[in-house]
Amino acid sequence: MKIQGPNHSNFNPYQKQMQKQADLKKELTNQADQLQISNQAKQLQETAKPDPARQERVQEIKQAVESGEYKIDPKQTARKMVEFWNNQP
């Protein structure tokens, strides 16, 4: 008994499904990732830029620390720490 007749010589019922999956893989590999930054994020980035006056003060403190001229008042430091922790919710 012959299972495949003359009209069904190379018939594979899953061939179309396999072709669709191959095409889908090609589409997915051709796509590139995209990144969009919201306006809110752009505004945050602008406001996060360091203030020049603050940067100058930081540099002054760094130089004073490196040269050994920067002195810390332990009483004032303790007072500020207590104030900070007392104001916490």
Residue 5 in domain: no
The answer to whether residue 57 is domain-embedded is yes
Residue 9's pLDDT is 56
Domain of 81 in residue numbering reads as: 13-87
Q: What is residue 83's predicted lDDT score, i.e. its pLDDT? A: 94
pLDDT at 3: 64
Whole-structure pTM value: 0.38
Note down pLDDT in tens along the chain; length 89 residues: 566 666 665 666 677 778 888 888 887 777 777 889 999 998 888 888 888 899 999 999 999 999 999 999 999 999 999 999 998 87
Q: Answer whether 62's CB lies under 8 Å from 54's CB.
A: no
Q: For 15-39, what is each residue's pLDDT tens digit?
A: 777 888 888 888 777 777 788 999 9
The answer to the question of residue 32 being in a domain is yes
Residue 6 has what pLDDT?
61
- Per the structure, the count of domains in the chain is 1
